[in-house]
Amino acid sequence: MLQAAAAANDEANGAHYAEELATLEQDLNENKTQADSLEQLYKQNTEIIAESLREIQKFQREFESVKARVAIGRSLESLAGMMKSSITELQGMMGGELGQSMQQLRQSAASGEGQMRATLDLAKEMGSGISRQQEARKARGAMLFQEYKKKMGMVQPEAVASTTPPPAQPERQKIPEK
């Protein structure tokens, strides 16, 4: 239409069409800038989420390793208890000559059992720390996801505020003792 107005030398319509074209071009440029900004934000959030997932997987592997150590510690503790009872039986069967040797073996088994208990306590503490870190990362990921949805216009800001529960204190993991 602008070309037709220019060809007809119609200044009134030509000026109107030229102004509309300039407004549309400006709107288009603003929309392109906004789209580029949103694309950059999307990539950034995707990278953050991917990094969070990698960290969660790392903590899961560490936690599984700690659980395996705890299982080994319990087995060793059970073995130390069996050694103590076997020593007591042997001492009763053999008599006084082996008394000193058996006493030394009993002390050795008792110190081994104490070391196993200390190892178990350390493993329990490490496991609870990893669990708290995992909960904190999950809460951070959820918050970032909600912010992303709000920025992308998928959710109204008031709805996000009302549906996002306050972050709960992470519950300490309980490892039962035998």
In a domain, 107, yes or no: yes
Whether 166 shows a pLDDT value over 60: the answer reads: no
Q: Quick one: how far is CA 44 from the chain centroid? A: 18
Q: Is 71 domain-assigned?
A: yes
Q: How many angstroms separate the CA atoms of 119 and 69, rounded?
A: 9
The number of distinct structural domains making up the chain is 1
Count of alpha carbons within 13 Å of 125, Cβ hemisphere only?
A: 6
170 neighbors 132 (Cβ within 8 angstroms): yes
Q: Which residues of 84-97 are buried (b: 16+ CB within 10 A; e: fewer)?
A: beebeeebeeeeee
Structure tokens at 63: 């936690």
Q: With respect to residue 171, please indicate whether it lies within any of the assigned structural domains.
A: no
**Residue 9 DSSP label:** T
Q: Is residue 29 part of a domain?
A: yes
Which range of 12-26, 88-102, 104-118 scores highest in mean pLDDT? It is 12-26
70 lies in some domain: yes
Higher pLDDT residue, 97 or 22? 22
* CATH code, 57: 1.20.1460
* Residue 42 in domain: yes
Q: Structural domain of residue 135, as residue ranges?
A: 2-152
Does pLDDT of 105 surpass 70?
no
pLDDT of residue 74: 86
Does residue 164 sit within a domain?
no
